[in-house]
Structure formats: C-alpha cells, structure tokens
C-alpha cells in the first residue's frame, strides 16, 4: 500500500496536491490542467503533468494521463473500513480511486489497515465473487508473503488493478481468473504490486 505521508513529496508536488485537495473539497470535482497551471503560475502543462505523475506513483492520486477530469484523491480513512473504489474482476481498470464510503464493520474485522473494494466484472464468479460484491482486503508487505492460490488485488503498472488468484511458477507470476472465459495474466515479479489479500466477500441483497 502507498505511504501517504506528505514528507514523501517535493515542495512543488505538495503545493499542487494541497491545492487539488482544497479545490475538490470546495467544488466536488477535479480541476482541469489549465486551472492547475493558473493556480501554480505555470504557462506550460508539462510541469503539471509531471507532478501529477509523481503524485500517482507515490499513491496520493488516481489519474489517467492526459485526462485531468479522471483525477481522484486517495485518502486514508480512520473510521470504519475504507472503500477504495473498484477492482476489476474481468479485464483491468484504473487503480484505486478515492475513498467513496465507509463500510461500518470495524467491530467485526480488527485487522490493521483492512480496506474494501467493489468488484467490477465476472472473472471471479466461480470463486463466488460476483459483479457488485464488496471484497475486504488485508494489505501485504511483500510479494513473498503471498501463497499460491490466494486471491489478491494486484496493481499492474500502466494497466490498473485486478482481482485474481495468485500463483508463482518458476520466475513468473500468474494472475488467474475463476472463469474459463479469461486468460491468465503472466508477469515478472517486478511488474506488479500486490495491494492486498482477500479476507471476506460482502454481498448486499
């Protein structure tokens, strides 16, 4: 999981991040690149795009490069369990968006830093994880702590976050669906980040 301490940011990155936070708080939507340029006193979009890229890499925002209006904040939540957007159970989707709501079952699950994701797609249907379900995830510190057959949420750089079975085979990672319609995703160890392992599935009836 990302380290959200603002000590990780340069002065320029922190200035932009704080301005974006205040803008979103005031207007309830993300600003345009031009608005960010004007606020930072810049005449070119390149420095803004560079700062946004670094903010995304450091886990402060979710953003589709070149599409400012897709920008969302990634905030820590200290009450209940944070619902950090959606995870693909199909193809791949954009990485964690900002916290959308709190799932109030903190008295049931006391594990540290547990978070929730809403499932999009049917690739894990044979594992009884359906489109629209909410999965509760426990962060993991290293990829070595994941055992074969665990269900994980994995961030594939440049592609997004996906929910799949995890397998280590020789020098490769296989992310496999629980649906025969989907081919496995095969990656090198350094090509992905495991964001969490599955604790439970929450379904609203």
Residue 184 and residue 174 in contact, taking contact as beta carbons nearer than 8 Å: yes
User: Would you put residue 154 in left (φ > 0), alpha (ψ -120 to 50) or beta?
Assistant: beta
The active-site residue, picked from 32, 123, 181, 197, is 123
Q: How far apart are CA 203 and CA 205, in angstroms?
A: 6
Annotated catalytic, 164? yes
C-alpha separations of 34 from 41, 51, 55 in Å: 10, 14, 18
Label the pairing between strands 185-188 and 115-120.
Answer: unpaired
Annotated catalytic, 123? yes
Label the pairing between strands 115-120 and 101-103.
Answer: unpaired
The active-site residue, picked from 5, 164, 168, 172, is 164
Return the DSSP state at 4. -
* Radius of gyration of the chain measured on its C-alpha atoms: 18
Residue 58 three-state SS: coil
Q: Which residues are catalytic?
A: 123, 164
């Amino acid at each position: 999981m990302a380290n959200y301490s603002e000590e990780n940011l340069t002065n320029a990155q922190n200035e932009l991040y704080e301005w974006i936070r205040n803008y979103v708080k005031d207007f309830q939507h993300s600003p345009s690149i031009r608005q960010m340029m004007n606020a930072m006193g810049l005449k070119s979009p390149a420095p803004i795009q560079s700062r946004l890229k670094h903010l995304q890499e450091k886990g402060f925002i979710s953003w589709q490069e070149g599409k400012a209006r897709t920008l969302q904040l990634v905030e820590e939540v200290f009450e209940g369990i944070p619902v950090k957007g959606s995870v693909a159970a199909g193809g791949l989707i954009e990485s964690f968006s900002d916290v959308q709501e709190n799932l109030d079952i903190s008295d049931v699950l006391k594990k540290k830093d547990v978070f929730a994701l809403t499932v999009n797609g049917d690739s894990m249907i044979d594992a009884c994880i359906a489109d629209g379900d909410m999965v509760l995830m426990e962060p993991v510190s290293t990829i070595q702590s994941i055992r074969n057959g665990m269900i994980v949420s994995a961030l594939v750089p440049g592609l997004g976050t996906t929910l799949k079975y995890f397998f280590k085979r020789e020098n490769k990672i296989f992310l496999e669906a629980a649906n025969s319609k989907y081919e496995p995703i095969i990656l090198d160890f350094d090509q992905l980040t495991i964001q969490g392992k599955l604790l439970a599935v929450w379904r609203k009836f």
